[in-house]
Amino acid sequence: MFRTVFPAAVLASALAFSSLASAQNTIKIAILGPMSFVQGENHWAGAEMARDEINKAGGINVGGKRMQVELIRGDTNELQSVPDATNAMERVITRDKADFVIGGFRSEAVLAMQEVAMDYKKIFLGAGAADAKLGDNVEQNYERYKYWFRVTPTKSPDLFRTLMAVLNTIADQVRQSAKREQVKVALIAEKAAWTEGIVKGVQATLPKMKMEIVGTWQPSPLATDVNAELAAIERTDADIVFTSVSGPVGITLARQMGERNMKAVAFGINVEGQKDEFWNAAAGKANYVSTLDTYAEVEVTPKTIPFVKAFKTRYKKSPTYNAATYDAIMLLKDAIEKEGTTNADKLVAAIEKVEHIGTAATATWDKKHDLVWAVGKTSGIAVQWQDGKKVPFWPPQVKGMQPFKMPAK
């Protein structure tokens, strides 16, 4: 009996000790995203860059003790299944013992993941979802939801403000080109939670901006064909096709607009349009398609251009906004080093007060733990596909912007 039990006890003690030692020497950060998809790849890539930079410099200084960053990869599969996302969150917290969680993409999934993270009082830094409800939760029940902060993107009402600012610039260009005051806008928005506010906002705001809405089309986010929608839009003689799409329908839309040689210019949010692979996925038919974006080789902050260049060198492609997991980890590092602890409650208080200059934004947070919106600071940028290249054109005051182009009428 003793011969059996004693070695087992020694082994268990050794394992427990090594686990404790490991826990004491590293800060475990779980990166959660759909890892088989571009969003998750960028979540992970941004985090890897932050981890390597921090660890190379000796780690995070926690009250005088240097601790290395250890990343945990949590595949949420959230594009296919919300339960998979909550399971992934549960797993990284309970099994992998993550100290902090970062990531998420699809609002429906992030809302569910937020609940799990809050149950365990884990700081959850969002790096993908725009739904305003995530921040509203913080305002409505601060004690429960205070561990949530949105690092990227801005919440959907603020995305809307950015969209209107860029749309106004484009509409002015249309007015000059067409030599008329009224601009016709067709709205095409996938049917999803995050577009609801945008659709209502556009319908209410555009008439005040001397723009006529000629119709609103709402295909499924997974639609493989928007031929009928585009045929209807062509009939309206729209000048601008205002897009709010995050799924593959964004590629279909751009490609089929190109195949139809449509004279209207597409602008809005087209998440697929932010990726380098977009041009090829749309078979080279996506000329003049423009979208809000986060990263380009322009000086949004002093850290943007070096980060984008380093990312391109390492991963052979540009980062998408989900790569702001880099900023999230750096934000944690700054807060931990300032407070000298990894205690979640103390870090929440620190992040609430900080102004963090990241690679994607110069960020401060409001009482909902949402980014405080400001053009050129947290608004992001707008880019347009021109002959196979993604060209940044807005906000004009940011160094490195280029002209927006219109298709020939």
Partner 1 sequence: MLQDILITGLVNGGVYALLAIGFSLIFGVARIVNIAHTAFYMLAAYCFYMLLVKLHLGFLTAGVISVAGVTLFSVLCYRLVIEPVREHESAVLIATIALALIFQELMLYFFGGHYLGIPSTLDGGVRFLGVSIPYQRMLILLVAAAMLLLVWFILYKTRLGLAIRATANDLEVANLMGMNVHRVAMATVALSVGLAAIAGVVVAPVFVVDPFMWLAPLVTMLAIVVLGGLGSLKGSLIGALIIGYVEAITVFAVPGGAYLKGAVALLIMVVVLLVRPEGLFGVAFEEER
CB 100 within 8 A of CB 77: no
DSSP letter at 206? G
Q: How far is the CB of 81 from partner 1 (least distance, A)?
A: 12
Distance of alpha carbon 329 from alpha carbon 351, whole angstroms: 12
Starting at the earlier edge strand, list the strands of the sheet with 123-127.
60-62, 65-75, 26-33, 100-103, 123-127, 148-152
For the beta carbon of residue 259, count every other beta carbon within 10 angstroms: 13
> At 271, is the secondary structure helix, strand, or coil?
helix
Among 27, 30, 38, 47, which residue sits at the site for partner 1 (rule: CB under 8 A)? 38
Task: Give the residue with the Cβ less far from partner 1, 192 or 324.
Answer: 192
Sign of CA dihedral 335, 75, 58, 314: negative
Task: Give the residue with the Cβ less far from partner 1, 201 or 376.
Answer: 201
Distance of alpha carbon 29 from alpha carbon 51, whole angstroms: 9
Distance of alpha carbon 245 from alpha carbon 155, whole angstroms: 16
Task: Give the residue with the Cβ less far from partner 1, 312 or 338.
Answer: 312
Q: Does residue 231 bind partner 1 (CB under 8 A)?
A: yes
Give the residue from 136, 137, 97, 139 showing the smallest Cα distance to 118.
137
Distance of alpha carbon 212 from alpha carbon 209, whole angstroms: 9
Q: How far is the CB of 253 from partner 1 (least distance, A)?
A: 10
Task: Give the residue with the Cβ less far from partner 1, 280 or 343.
Answer: 280
Query: How many positions of this chain bind partner 1 (CB under 8 A)?
Result: 42
Task: Give the residue with the Cβ less far from partner 1, 70 or 190.
Answer: 190
Q: Does residue 381 bind partner 1 (CB under 8 A)?
A: no
Task: Give the residue with the Cβ less far from partner 1, 114 or 322.
Answer: 322
Q: DSSP for 315-382?
A: HSS---GGGGHHHHHHHHHHHHHHHTS--HHHHHHHHHH--EE-SS-EE-B-TTSPBPP-TTTTS-EE
Give the residue from 323, 392, 333, 285 showing the smallest Cα distance to 153.
323
Among 9, 12, 222, 349, which residue sits at the site for partner 1 (rule: CB under 8 A)? 222
Give me 189's structure tokens.
Answer: 């928005």
Contact letters (x/-) for partner 1, 202-221, by CB under 8 A? -------------xxxxxx-
Distance of alpha carbon 232 from alpha carbon 236, whole angstroms: 7
Q: Does residue 259 bind partner 1 (CB under 8 A)?
A: yes
Among 111, 166, 282, 300, which residue sits at the site for partner 1 (rule: CB under 8 A)? 282
Q: Does residue 256 bind partner 1 (CB under 8 A)?
A: yes
Among 13, 18, 19, 36, which residue sits at the site for partner 1 (rule: CB under 8 A)? 36
Task: Reply yes or no: is the peptide bond before residue 221 cis, omega within 30 of 0.
Answer: no
Task: Give the residue with the Cβ less far from partner 1, 19 or 224.
Answer: 224
Among 28, 30, 31, 41, which residue sits at the site for partner 1 (rule: CB under 8 A)? 41
Residues 132-191 that bind partner 1 (CB under 8 A): 190-191
Q: Does residue 404 bind partner 1 (CB under 8 A)?
A: no
Q: Does residue 281 bind partner 1 (CB under 8 A)?
A: yes
Q: Does residue 251 bind partner 1 (CB under 8 A)?
A: yes
Terminal Cα distance for the chain, rounded:
89
Contact letters (x/-) for partner 1, 49-78, by CB under 8 A? ------------------------------
Task: Give the residue with the Cβ less far from partner 1, 119 or 277.
Answer: 277
| Binding residues vs partner 1 (CB under 8 A) | 34, 36-38, 41, 79-80, 190-191, 215-220, 222-229, 231-232, 234-235, 248, 251-252, 255-256, 259-261, 272, 277, 280-284
